[in-house]
Amino acid sequence: MRLPVTPIAAYLLVLGWASIPFAPAEPVLVGAGSYAAIGALHLPFVIAAAATGSLASDLAKYAIGRAAGPAMLERLSRRESGARAVEWIESRARRIGPAVIVPSYFVPFGVVAATLLCGALRMRLGPVIVSSTVGAALWSAMFVLLGYAGGAVTHNPLTGALLALPIALAIGALLSRVATARTPG
């Protein structure tokens, strides 16, 4: 099955979609990974495009956090899932600083809250960039590789994505549970 757009357009789509601050990019990453399995895209380029877009999104949310500060976090906390994410992130961010961004990628609304909070708390940009880069790379690689596995098993990118997406979401939910589990001290 052929890619419905040129590879360059596909990489730009992945980069662009992953850079939208509040849009779920996982289905796009899984789909692109599935196309990489049949050779329509290069796997490292898909992961790099997704991670770069996600990093850009993190930096935008950090800037919003610096500008809007506590008012933005208050607004995010109005939703139950947002309030849980803000509470979880804030408790850890006060202990470990921007490194909290890495596991927050696997908590619903976590990376949103983490990057906004890092900005609101006026944490230094350098460590935020490092943490966001690591988190974005791990997150991107996980979802793209799950799509790749689905495409490799089925030899069809659409069937592969349909197979991999529920597995990716289940793994994401499991990682969210692990990341948010209470840790001593």
Q: What is the pLDDT along the chain (185 residues), one digit of tens a residue?
A: 789 899 999 999 999 999 998 788 999 999 999 999 999 999 999 999 999 999 999 999 999 999 987 787 778 788 887 788 778 777 877 788 888 899 888 877 788 888 988 998 888 999 999 999 999 999 999 999 999 999 999 999 999 999 988 888 788 778 777 766 654 44
**CB of 182 within 8 A of CB of 69?**
no
Give the DSSP letter string of 84-101.
HHHHHHHHHHHHHGGGGH
**CB of 43 within 8 A of CB of 98?**
no
- pTM score, two decimals? 0.84
In angstroms, what CA-CA distances link 151 with 3, 33, 123, 137, 164?
13, 7, 41, 21, 8
Half-sphere exposure of 135 (CA within 13 A, CB side): 28
Residue-range domain boundaries for the chain: 69-139
What pLDDT score does 8 carry?
97
